[in-house]
Amino acid sequence: MNYSGWPDPSELVIGKVDEIADFGVFVDLSEYEDKRGLVHISEVASGWIKNVRDHVGVGQTVVAKVLSVDEGSQQIDLSLKDVNDHQRSEKVQEWKAAKRADNWMTIAFGEDIDDAQYTAVANEFLTEFGTLYAGFEEAAIRGADALNGTDLSAEEIDAIVETARENVSVPYVAVSGYVDLRSPEAAGVDAIREALHAAEGNGDLPDGVDLDVTYVGSPEYRIRVEAPDYKTAEAELEASADRAAAAVGEHGGSAEFHRERRSDDE
C-alpha cells in the first residue's frame, strides 16, 4: 500500500537509494507515491565523510528519519545517521509485513480490486487492528469473530478469513464451540462430569494442542482449542464434542454441538 500524501517530520521511512551525488544521497520512498527524499552528506553517517559511496550504494534499501518536509518545493530532507540499529530492523520488518498484507489483499479480492474497496477495507483494518498485517493475522487466529466489530460485508469477511488461513503463519490459532450436555439419569451429574473429562481428552491430546472446557450456563459448556494451525484446531474441536457426546450417550444422555453461544436465550 503506497500513500499518496507526505510523510511527517520525525517519521521513519524506507526507500531505495536511486542516485548518489557529492553532496548527498537521493532516496526513492517506497511507502509514498512519487516521493523522493534527500540525505545531505552530513546526515549520511556520523563523523567526517570522505566518500559517500563508502557508506551507501545505488539500489540499496535504507531506513531514514524525516527531518523536514516542504510540500511547496517538493522537498523531503532525510537522515540516515539518526536511525539506530533497532529502529532500522523494526522498520524493515514492518515494511515486509505491509508488503505481505498488500499481496494478501490482492489474493482475497483479485488483481482488479479497485482503489475505493481497497481503501475501505484497509481503513477498517487500520481502525480495528492498527495495520493490515495485524488484521489478517487476527483473521487467521480467530476467524470471522475477529472481524465482527468492523463494517466489512459478509462476503469480504469470508474472503479475508479464507486468505488469512491459507497464507498467514501464526504461532497458534484458536477456535471455540459450545456443547449442550443433558442426562436424564438420577446420577446425571456424574454422567456430565464423565462427558466433560472425555471432552478434555482424558489427558491425551496431540503435542501443541491446548484444549479447555468451561461452564457457561446449564446445559451449555464452551470448548476452546489452541493449535498450530486451523485444520488441526477444527479437527480437535469436533473430536472433543464427539467424545463428550459418546460419553454422555452411554448414560442415556444427549449432546448437541453448536458454534455460537445461546444459553442466555434459553
Residue 1 has a pLDDT of 58
- Final residue belonging to a domain, choices 144, 167, 190: 167
CB atoms within 10 A of CB 14: 19
Q: Are residues 142 and 103 in the same domain?
A: yes
The answer to whether position 148 is within a domain reads: yes
Q: Are residues 256 and 180 in the same domain?
A: yes
Q: Are residues 161 and 178 in the same domain?
A: no
Q: Are residues 162 and 120 in the same domain?
A: yes
What mean pLDDT comes out for the span 160-170? 90
CATH code where residue 108 lies: 1.10.150.190
Q: Are residues 42 and 91 in the same domain?
A: no
- Model pLDDT for residues 220-266, shown as the tens digit of each residue: 999 999 988 888 889 999 999 999 999 999 888 899 999 877 755 44
What mean pLDDT comes out for the span 131-136? 93
| 39 alpha carbon, distance to own chain's centre | 33
Rounded (5°) CA angle 125-131-134? 85
- Final residue belonging to a domain, choices 111, 132, 167: 167
The answer to whether position 222 is within a domain reads: yes
Structural domain span for residue 122: 87-167
210-217 CB contacts, 8 Å cutoff, 24+ apart: 211/236, 211/240, 213/240, 216/178, 216/261, 216/263, 217/263, 217/264
* Most distant pair of Cα atoms in the chain: their distance: 91
Per the structure, the count of domains in the chain is 3
Euclidean distance between CA atoms 27 and 40, whole angstroms: 11
Residue 110 has a pLDDT of 93
The answer to whether position 193 is within a domain reads: yes
Residue 2 has a pLDDT of 65
The answer to whether position 6 is within a domain reads: no
The answer to whether the CB of 181 falls within 8 A of the CB of 252 is no
The confidence band for 27, taking pLDDT boundaries of 50, 70 and 90, is: very high
The answer to whether position 24 is within a domain reads: yes
The answer to whether position 5 is within a domain reads: no
- Model pLDDT for residues 172-228, shown as the tens digit of each residue: 888 899 999 998 876 678 889 999 999 998 778 887 789 999 999 889 999 999 988
CATH code where residue 71 lies: 2.40.50.140
Q: Are residues 68 and 104 in the same domain?
A: no
- Final residue belonging to a domain, choices 167, 194, 227: 167
The answer to whether position 3 is within a domain reads: no
The answer to whether position 64 is within a domain reads: yes
Residue 205 has a pLDDT of 84
What mean pLDDT comes out for the span 17-46? 94
Cell numbers given for 192: 456430565
- Model pLDDT for residues 47-96, shown as the tens digit of each residue: 888 889 999 999 999 999 999 999 999 999 999 999 999 999 999 999 99
Euclidean distance between CA atoms 150 and 128, whole angstroms: 7
Residue 266 has a pLDDT of 45
